Amino acid sequence: MGRRRPNALQKTVDQGRRSARYRRSSGPGAAIRAARFTGKSDVNNLKERLEDLDKEGIDLQFIYPSFLLHVNAWPDGVLAMGVCRAYNTWLAEACSRAPDRLKAVGVVSLQDAQGAATELGRLRELEVNAVMINGTVGASDSTS
């Protein structure tokens, strides 16, 4: 067997570039380039964040709560919902400073069903149009 030629993505990785761009030439979402954000800035440094997005050729970025992926495993659902609410408020405010470039993805705690329902309404008022909902609640799989 001969040595396989690396594909374009492998060449990009081999050259030390940290992301790959996927582009559509037409159709829904044509203006939005899906790419993994690799910049060093955070949402608190808006100028640097937007410069990084420009460098990567990213028109629009959805920011989701990666550090709260485990929120539905917390033993206190009311506390978890309070943390979600604080996070949602902070992120919505941060994204509102560049609404054409940054979109917030909210998060709710499914262990506090009433709080989650209330928060969904509040997210709509904050113009947050997406929410992350995990597939587990505590030790249970919510898909069954």
Domains assigned to the chain: 23-135 (3.20.20.140)
Q: What is the share, in percent, of the chain residues with pLDDT greater than 90?
A: 48
**Exposure string for 78-87, b = 16+ CB within 10 A, e = fewer:** eebbebbbeb
pTM: 0.67
Model confidence at 134, pLDDT cuts 50, 70, 90, reads confident
12, containing H or E segment: helix 8-14
- At 141 the pLDDT is 55
In this structure, what token pair is assigned to residue 17? 């570039």
Measure the CA–CA gap between 111 and 61, rounded to whole angstroms. 29
pLDDT tens digit sequence for 70-109? 888 888 999 999 999 999 999 999 999 999 999 999 999 9
State residue 143's pLDDT score.
57
Query: Is residue 117 pLDDT above 60, yes or no?
Result: yes
Query: Beta strand pairing status for 131-132 and 106-107?
Result: parallel
Cα separation, 125 vs 113, whole angstroms: 19
Amino acid present at 60:
L
